[in-house]
Structure 1
Amino acid sequence: MKNNKIIIAAIVFIEMFAVSLIWGHYYTHEFNAIETEGLNLYSDSNDEINNINSKAILLEKGVYIVNLDYNSNSYDATSTMAAIDGSKSDIIVERNSLLPFQQHISYRVYIQNGGTFFLNNETSVNAELEVVNAGLDYSKTLSGFYFAGKMLLLLLLLDVCMVLFVYYKNGQIKKEHLILVSFIILTSLPLTVPYVLHGHDVRFHMFRIAGLAEGIRNGDFPVRLQPNWLNGYGAATGVTYPDLLLYPFAFLYLIGMPLYSSYKCYLLFINISTICVSYYAFLKIGKKETLALVCSFMYSFSMWRLIDLYTRAALGEYTALMFLPLIVLGLYEIYYTEKSISYAFIIGVTGIITSHPLTVLLVAEAIILFLILQYKKTLFISNICKMLKNGVILVLLNAGILLPLIDYYLNEGIGAGSVSTEASIQKHGIYFSQLFTHDYLIEGNSVIGGIAQEMPLTMGIACIVVIFVAVIIILTRKDLKNPILIRQLIFIDLIVTYMSTAYFPYEWLLKNSPVIYKIIAAIQFPWRYLNLATIITVVLFYLLAVEFESNIHYKNVLYSIVVGITLFQGIDYYSQELNEQTRYYSYLTDANMDTFGDVDNFALAGVDTELMQDSSIKLSDDDIEAEILDKRGTNYTIDLNNKTDNDQYIDLPVAGYRYYKTNDDKLTLKQGDNRCLRVMIPAEYDGVFAVKYTEPVLWRVAEIISLFTVICLFILGIMQRRLLRERKLC
């Protein structure tokens, strides 16, 4: 064993040395930046397309940055780089849109093999395109990290295979661990294609990663405002849609990984984590490894989770799904063990708070219903104390996220318009027959008035089978070990499934109890209750398997049916998704970022986002001169001259969120037209000033409280483990 560790350590050292050499090679490469004159741009048009091309450019392997200043009057205008000989294997680049409401674009070009290339800018024959300035430069940092990173990932994969083989051969890895690896491979098969499959929200979440990277680049942490959204006006997605787990993947993009690859890495991370977390949770509950494996597979390969991953690309929701098994484990620890603090419950709830606030509402509804049904245990003083203690810890732990969210919800109206009090969400509910389907329209969406052209809306046939079996068992068998708990879970499962359908009386609630309706309808779509139905059904399956434990035949039949149906329906879904999905993305950067259709619930309430396509400074008088000298994220340097004898104002192309500050006491900030940031100017003011977004002290205090709570929980956890170890020794 010792020799194995020495050999592995030596191999890792050699690999790191090789990776550092690759990084050094690309980082020390010299390249003279080429400006407009050096590119020798010329017009090359025909009857269909207007082209503005560059001369042939000889480039070596590396990552290059193209900068373009332009004027365009068409959405058809694009810019890209291509190989002279037409080869696509030598270069990775996308065709970037030259949007008419912007005048600058910057994008990456990944040269895989040295050769001769040219810059191509084109638009339709009836449109106008002018390239004002163009530039091409080599990025040492991106090149070094990109090519060294590719080698590192390859070596890491080989190392994992090597470690698994060596340790399994020596009996140090159980077969269950290898089965978990096979689960990870199976759930991640759609990631093996060289692009990201189209999903409803995939662009939105890729742009979130890019926005985080931009904020980090400009020194913001945490990144509350995405500075490059809405044509540079900014959007507070970091406040209303917490993105704690996205930071590592934003960093990967920042140091050279293509944007779509960063998103795929996040998907892989979620698949690995969901499988391991669900296995751990069910193993801790019953100490039954085979059952924990089956539950992990049933959950991680469930239809609704796969739909969230690949059809909907609902990053917040599928991230929250990763934490639901921990909440199940946490409730078990609170109700059925002597633990006063459940780390599983705390981490699980914190996970969904930091990934998808709407799922918090769903989970809260299910937990409240569970507490009511379990009222005899709930009213134990010890359990009440446990819940209060865990609740206080959760509030302290998440203060840094909850306080900004509540602040902007109450004071800026962000997200407040996401719940309609005039139209019912019932029309988006599922029809009963859809729960049993296995043939879908992969490119469908949530439609109204039928199921034609609609996306898959089912938790999977395996889950339906489990519910039916549970109902039959509870009605026919009198010798069950946990009949009350099984009845309660069946009831909760049926309730949440019912709430996902078009038959639940949402319209009646809207008319007769609008307050309750507004709380429930905050989820926006009834089918989101399938998140709860899936995890509850898996827990129900776990309890059924325990009941069949003494009868090996029945237990094996149940395992085979659930695993077989889950596997078949999952593979069938993959086949349709991979073969029928005609849209896909391979965004290298956020250069194609048009976020105007993606921020309905994150922009300031009442804002007309179309007006933000104009990025000019609005002046209250023609005798005012104003220019943005520098913009770095949410930091602006502005030269301003008020030539009039009166107080005036300017409206900056900046969304007027609270907590923007200026360094000049003569100026005041407020919201102007379309809730843009307005600067109030005294008469005859002439000077240069700065505007900066600064978190309030209260937010910083909340973040410190959260950090302090993490440290305390970490120390407490170590102390508890030591105490437990000492007790075992005694």
Structure 2
Amino acid sequence: MEKEDILGKRKWFFLILAEALLLVAACIFYGRRETVELNYTQEELIDDSGEAAFYLERSSDCRFVGSPKLMLPKGMYTLTVQYEGAGEAKLRVVYPGSRYRSEVSGDIPLSGSGTASCDFRVAYGDRTLQVRGLFSDEMQEGDYLLLRNIKIARAGCDVRNFLFRFVVFLLAADGILFYFQMRKQGRRILPAGADRTVLRALVLLVVGCSIPLAVDYLFLNSHDLYFHLMRIEGIRAGLENGMFPVRIQPGWLNGHGYAASVFYGDFFLYVPALLRYFGVSVQAAYKCYVVMIHMLTVGISYYSFSRMSRPRIGLVCTVLYSLNIYRLTCIYTRAAVGEYTAMTFMPLVLYGLWLLYTMPEDSKRHRDSWIPITAGCTGIFLSHMISTEITAFLVVLSALVLWRRVIRKRTMLVILKAVSATALLNAWFLVPFLDYMVSGNYVINDADKYGSYRIEQTGIFVAQLFMGNFEPFGHSLYASEGIASEMPLTVGIALMAVPAVWFLLAKSGEERKRGEKREAVLAVCLCFVSLWMATCHFPYTWLAERLPVFQLPIVSIQYLWRFLTAAAVLLTWLLCLLLREDGLSVDRRRLIAGVLVGLAFWQGFAYMGQCLQDARPYRVYQAGNMSTMKAQSASSEEQESVMGGEYLPLNRNEPFSLSDYVAAYVEKLTYDEAALTVEGWTREGGAVTVGLENRGDSVQQMEVPLLYYKGYHAVTDKGEPVQITPGTSYRISLSVPPGFAGSIRVEFGEPLYWRGAELVSAAALLGILLYKAGIPGHKRRK
């Protein structure tokens, strides 16, 4: 047997070596293909009748103007179009005159005049293509589109995309080969003690939660979808510019950049951003991310709740938590990426705290409880700051309630480990975040500009917690507007039924151990508090008026129903305690579990089916399909791409109107033409370089299309520093010295202490991994 193992390992070594050589050879061959570069001048463009045309207006007889028909080999290409226009015009690359699928590039929005660019994939090398410029709806008076030039060339990600697809194919082939080899040798792929039925159920649960993704589009009705797709594109663009970690995402606001990565944890968004880097479409990358989150949520939930009880009970709890309506609403109605990602890790924090407060102090599980606490808190912190605030509040509240257990020496030591490890692991994100929050003025740290103060109006009514019919793509309404046509704001009937079942069976608790009874009472109380804080009945304004220190934390929550994230995990914990109750008979447990699982599936699938029924399709493939200024949504109201503009720098005492504020973000220099002569300017790698001359005898100001965030600096071509100050809407303004002639480069650079924090986090991660590697595997709890 040992000899067979050695021979098998050698075969796999040579197979992987051969695949690596094949991969290198294929990439070299693919990269040396014939260069493709097409350039259509204005005179070569045509209309839908085939006649020469490059101009489209309301009185035109044609439906579109564009390129002649062309053919391209399979691969990735970049389309660049120079144009001028007014109105809601757009570009498309299509397969013309086909009864089969004709869409290639998706819609490329055009606004004003300038240059539009978009990558697209050619999947059929034997079908003709055409680039078309047209209008989305009926043209209005004054609308027009003039095309000046159309260029098509191989995309920079073409070879990367080929490499990615080839690697995926090889991995799939190796997986199939490994499976059949194990079957032939009569070996188990899963550990001997693994419950295959549970594993299959978890896989089916992931598939069930992912059903709305099984269409070839995203949902335009999803509230925050556009913002988070822009975040993914921003990380990709930052990586392509050589920035790691990405701090200022360069693609926002006509290239001015946006510090979303400083204020909003995006660690997990590097997965779809890397997929985008390898040429995967925007919507495919986002769908992969959602599936990954479903897998992590199901896996972490099962791990946490099964360790707090038994595997089958853990499975039931996982079903109810994964299919709770609020979580599904965050994914499909709101597209609240940060919030539903944070919900993935909340069961892990709960599990760590459960170990901390229930296990004997001298046990190994108690000593190591800081590990799941640290992992869970890190996952939440790097996903969503508001969820971090909610989690921290409930953790502190539970510590105050259980103060007698907290003040024990060994427990204090474990808490110290958890806090220290969490702080060190997240220093790379925490230090820049605090640096900006303390040293600058932004919408997010200005309570007057961040939101209205009657925050109770954003809470829900108790009746909404028990609703079974929803408006899947409704919006959040103020309490004064009622609940008609509001989006789902409940964890679902299945989880809301858990306290009722507990109350009905509470009398059997007389035979329970005292510790178990206290645990159940604590769970019920925390469930009640979290649900109460999600409603419009909690006295937030009263609290803030008497304790002003809580004003900004309260306002930063934005919507009180966010406490449903905590309510979902706490109600699931209560179910876990209920099903492991020794006083319940097996038949009664099965009945409770069966009814609740049935309710969860019924309500979850009904909600997802309604989403598919009501969703408006949104097909987005590349960055060119997205506007950097205006968000694309199903709402009739125009919305900025930065949503509420929470991370925009501003002057605290000046009036603020978001639409007026961002109107200044145009892709041009602003300066006194009588005093300054500009030879030209370029944008490369997130930096702006300007060639200019100051003919005057005084310092002149020039605004460049970048936002004034800490970390930006300007230097001349001789390496001399140039002073920068905030200009209009906090654009960077250069102070050009008198008599200066040359070039000035403005770029972003991380302060050294940010880099130091990154090294600290890397060292902390390495230390935790080494520590964990030295811990023998935990035995399954019986």
Do both proteins adopt the same fold according to a TM-score greater than 0.5, normalized to the shorter chain? yes
Number of residue-to-residue matches in the alignment: 720
Counterparts in 2 of 1:443-458, with a 5 A limit? 443-448=473-478, 449-458=481-490
For residue 525 of structure 1, what is the amino acid of its counterpart?
Answer: Y
Q: Of 345, 348, 352, which aligns to 1:330?
A: 352
In the TM superposition, what is the alpha-carbon distance from 1:522 to its structure 2 partner? 1.8
Q: Which piece of structure 1 moves more, 473-482 or 21-30?
A: 21-30
Deviation of residue 138 (structure 1)?
Answer: 1.9
Q: Which stretch shifts more, 325-334 or 200-209?
A: 325-334
Is the CA contact 1:548–1:554 (under 8 Å) kept in the aligned structure 2?
A: no
Q: CA deviation at 1:155?
A: 6.7
Aligned to 2:119: 108
Equivalent residue for 1:204?
227
Q: Report the CA distance between 1:161 and its aligned residue.
A: 7.2
Mapping for residues 270-669 of structure 1, pairs under 5 Å: 270-286=293-309, 288-335=310-357, 336=359, 337-339=365-367, 342-414=370-442, 415-417=444-446, 420=450, 422-448=452-478, 449-474=481-506, 477-481=509-513, 482-548=516-582, 551-596=585-630, 597-599=640-642, 600-606=645-651, 608-620=660-672, 622-626=674-678, 629-664=681-716, 665=720, 667-669=722-724
Distance 1:424 1:601, change over 3 A: same
**Displacement, 1:228?**
1.2
Shift of 1:495: 0.8
The alpha-carbon deviation at position 583 of structure 1 amounts to 4.0
SS in 1 for 2:35: coil
2:214 is the counterpart of 1:192: yes
How far 1:8 moved relative to its partner? 8.3
3-state DSSP of counterpart to 1:692 = strand
The alpha-carbon deviation at position 338 of structure 1 amounts to 3.2
Could you tell me how far apart the structure 2 residues matched to 1:455 and 1:5 are? 56
Q: Secondary structure at the match of 1:622?
A: coil
Distance (Å, rounded) in 1 between the aligned partners of 2:216 and 2:20:
26
CA distance in 2, matches of 1:12, 1:540: 49
Note the C-alpha offset of 1:591.
4.0
Distance in structure 2 (CA, Å) of the matches to 1:18 and 1:197: 40
1:14–1:276 distance in 2 versus 1, CA, 3 Å? farther
Which 5+ residue runs of structure 1 have no aligned equivalent?
726-730
One-letter identity of the residue aligned with 1:208 = R
Structure 2 vs 1, CA of residues 556 and 11 (structure 1 numbering), >3 Å: closer, same or farther? farther
Q: 1: CA distance between counterparts of 2:613 and 2:572?
A: 29
Q: Please give the per-residue CA displacement for 1:382-435, whole angstroms capped at 9, x wherever unaligned.
A: 212221222122112211111111111122223214675752121121112211
The answer as to whether partners of 2:233 and 2:273 remain within 8 angstroms in 1 is yes
CA distance in 1 between counterparts of 2:218 and 2:21 reads 32
When residues 488 and 161 of structure 1 are mapped into structure 2, their CA distance, relative to the original with a 3 A threshold, is farther
- Deviation per CA, 1:53-76, whole angstroms, max 9, x where unpaired? 1112121222111011222222x1
* Equivalent residues in 2 for 1:18-97, closer than 5 Å: 26-37=30-41, 40-42=44-46, 43=53, 45=56, 47=60, 51-74=64-87, 76-89=88-101, 92-97=104-109
- Asked if structure 2 preserves the Cα contact closer than 8 Å seen for 1:285 and 1:329, the reply is yes
Task: Give the whole-Å Cα distance in 1 for the aligned partners of 2:171 and 2:542.
Answer: 56
User: RMSD in angstroms over aligned alpha carbons?
Assistant: 2.8
Quick one: distance in 2 between partners of 1:571 and 1:150? Answer: 33
Q: Which amino acid aligns with 1:136?
A: I
Taking structure 2 as the reference length, the TM-score comes to 0.86
Amino acid corresponding to residue 35 of structure 1 in structure 2: N
Corresponding residue SS for 1:616: coil
Q: 1:41: how far off?
A: 1.6
Q: Distance in 2 between matches of 1:549 and 1:12?
A: 56
Distance in 2, matches of 1:36 and 1:384, equals: 71
Aligned positions of 1:10-21 closer than 5 A = none
When structure 1 is superposed on structure 2, of 384-393 and 698-707 the one drifting more is 384-393
Residues 189-235 of structure 1: per-residue CA shift (max 9 Å, x gap): 11211112231111111111111111111101111001110111111
In structure 2, how many angstroms separate the alpha carbons of the residues matched to 1:714 and 1:217? 30
Q: 1:728: which partner in 2?
A: none
- In 2, the alpha carbon distance for the partners of 1:18 and 1:379 equals 61
* Cα deviation 1:139-188 (Å, max 9, x = unaligned): 3x534444564565567567667867886985543312222211111111
Q: Is the 8 A contact 2:447 2:555 kept in 1?
A: no
1:131 to 147, 150, 158: 147
Question: Is the 1:39–1:55 contact (alpha carbons within 8 Å) kept by the matching residues of 2?
Answer: no
Query: Separation in 2 of the partners of 1:36 and 1:292?
Result: 62
- CA gap 1:161/1:195 in 2 versus in 1, 3 angstroms: farther
Quick one: structure 1 residues 306 and 22, their matched pair in 2 at CA, closer, same or farther if it must change by over 3 Å? farther
Secondary structure, aligned partner of 2:303: helix
2:278 aligned residue: 255
C-alpha contact 2:498 2:575 (8 A) present in aligned 1: yes
Gaps of 5+ in 2: 47-52, 360-364, 631-639
8 Å CA contact 1:49–1:122 kept in 2: the answer is no
Match of 2:634?
none
Which residue is 1:678 aligned to?
Answer: 733
Q: Give the 3 Å change call, closer, same or farther, for CA 344–477 of structure 1 in structure 2.
A: closer
Specify whether residues 63 and 332 from structure 1 end up closer, same or farther in structure 2 by C-alpha distance, changes over 3 A only: same
Gap change, CA 1:521 and 1:450, over 3 Å in 2? same
1:374 Cα deviation after fit: 1.2
| In structure 2, distance between residues paired with 1:421 and 1:251 | 34
**1:308-355: CA deviation from partner (whole Å, max 9, x where unpaired):** 111111110111111111101211232224315621111111111111
Contact 2:715–2:721, Cα closer than 8 Å, also in 1: no
